[in-house]
Chains A and B, each alone.
Chain A
Amino acid sequence: MSSAIALLGQPNSGKSTLFNALTGAHQHVGNWPGKTVEKNEGSFDYEGKKIKVIDLPGTYSLAANSDEEIVTRDYIAGQEADTVCILADSSQLERSLFMLADYAGIRVPALLLLNMMDVAKVQGKNIDAKKISKKLGISVIPFVAQDKKNYNEFLSTVSAKQKAYPDYSVLEEEYKKEFGEKYADVCRILPENGIGVYSPCWLFAKLVEKDPVAMQLVEDKIGSGKYSELNKILSGIKDGSSRTGSCKFAWIDAILEGSVKDSGSGLLRSKFDRIATSKRWGKPLAIAIMLGALILSIIFGIPFMMLGSYIPGLAAPVADALLEAGAHPLLVTVLCDGIWTAVGFALAMSGYIFGASIAFGLLEEVGYMARISYVFDNTMRKLGLHGKAVMPFICSFGCNIAGSSGTRVLDTWSQRMTAIALSWVVPCGSTWGVVGLIGSVFFGPGVIVVILLMFAISALHLFITSKVFGRKLLKPSDRTGIIMELPPYHKPRWGALAKHGLIKMKEALKRALIVITLISVALSLLSYSESGDFTESILGRIGEAIEPVTMFFGLRCQTFIAWIGSMMAKEGALGVLASTFSRDSSVMHALATMKSNPVDNTALVDLLKTALTKPEALSFLFAFYFNMPCLMALSATLHETRSKKWTFLVAGYYVVMSLLIAAIVYHVACLIF
Chain B
Amino acid sequence: MNLTEAKEGTRGRIRSVGGTPEYQRRITSVGLTPGCVFNVIQNRTKQPVLIYARNTQIALDRSDCEKIETEVVS
Q: How far is the CA of A411 from the CA of B27 in the complex (A)?
A: 13
- With a cutoff of 8 Å between Cβ atoms, the chain B residues found around residue A63 in the complex are 25-26, 29
CB B34 to nearest CB in A, in angstroms, measures 5
* Interchain CB contact under 8 A, B54 and A95: yes
- With a cutoff of 8 Å between Cβ atoms, the chain B residues found around residue A386 in the complex are 61
A94 to B, closest residue via Cβ: B54
Given contacts A61-B25, A240-B24, A377-B48, 17 further A-B contacts (CB under 8 A): A61-B29, A65-B25, A91-B55, A95-B31, A242-B17, A242-B28, A246-B35, A279-B46, A374-B48, A374-B50, A377-B61, A387-B59, A411-B26, A485-B56, A485-B57, A485-B58, A485-B59
- With a cutoff of 8 Å between Cβ atoms, the chain A residues found around residue B20 in the complex are 477
* Interchain CB contact under 8 A, A245 and B48: no
CB B35 to nearest CB in A, in angstroms, measures 6
B30, B39, B42: the one within 8 Å of A483 (CB): B30
Near A by CB (< 8 A), chain B positions 39-74 give 39, 41-42, 44, 46-48, 50, 52-64
Question: Does B2 lie at the interface of the complex (its beta carbon under 8 Å from any beta carbon of A)?
Answer: no
Counting contact residues on chain A (CB < 8 A from B), the size range is 35 or more
Question: Does A236 lie at the interface of the complex (its beta carbon under 8 Å from any beta carbon of B)?
Answer: no
The SS class assigned to the B binding surface is mixed
- With a cutoff of 8 Å between Cβ atoms, the chain B residues found around residue A59 in the complex are 29
Q: B-side interface residues toward A, CB under 8 Å?
A: 16-18, 20-31, 33-36, 39, 41-42, 44, 46-48, 50, 52-64
- With a cutoff of 8 Å between Cβ atoms, the chain B residues found around residue A27 in the complex are none
* Interchain CB contact under 8 A, B59 and A95: no
Q: How far is the CA of A94 from the CA of B20 in the complex (A)?
A: 25
Q: In the complex, which of the residues A279, A481, A486 has the most CB atoms of chain B within 10 Å of its own CB atom?
A: A481
Q: How far is the CA of A279 from the CA of B36 in the complex (A)?
A: 27
CB A409 to nearest CB in B, in angstroms, measures 14
Given contacts A245-B24, A480-B23, A484-B59, contact A279 B44 (CB under 8 A): yes
Near B by CB (< 8 A), chain A positions 127-151 give none
Given contacts A377-B61, A480-B26, A482-B61, contact A95 B34 (CB under 8 A): no
* Interchain CB contact under 8 A, A210 and B21: yes
Q: How far is the CA of A486 from the CA of B57 in the complex (A)?
A: 5
Q: How far is the CA of A603 from the CA of B24 in the complex (A)?
A: 64
What are 26 A-B pairs at a CB distance below 8 A?
A59-B29, A61-B29, A65-B26, A65-B29, A91-B55, A95-B31, A102-B29, A241-B24, A241-B25, A242-B33, A245-B28, A245-B33, A248-B33, A249-B36, A267-B39, A267-B41, A374-B59, A477-B20, A480-B22, A483-B58, A483-B60, A484-B48, A484-B58, A485-B57, A485-B59, A486-B59
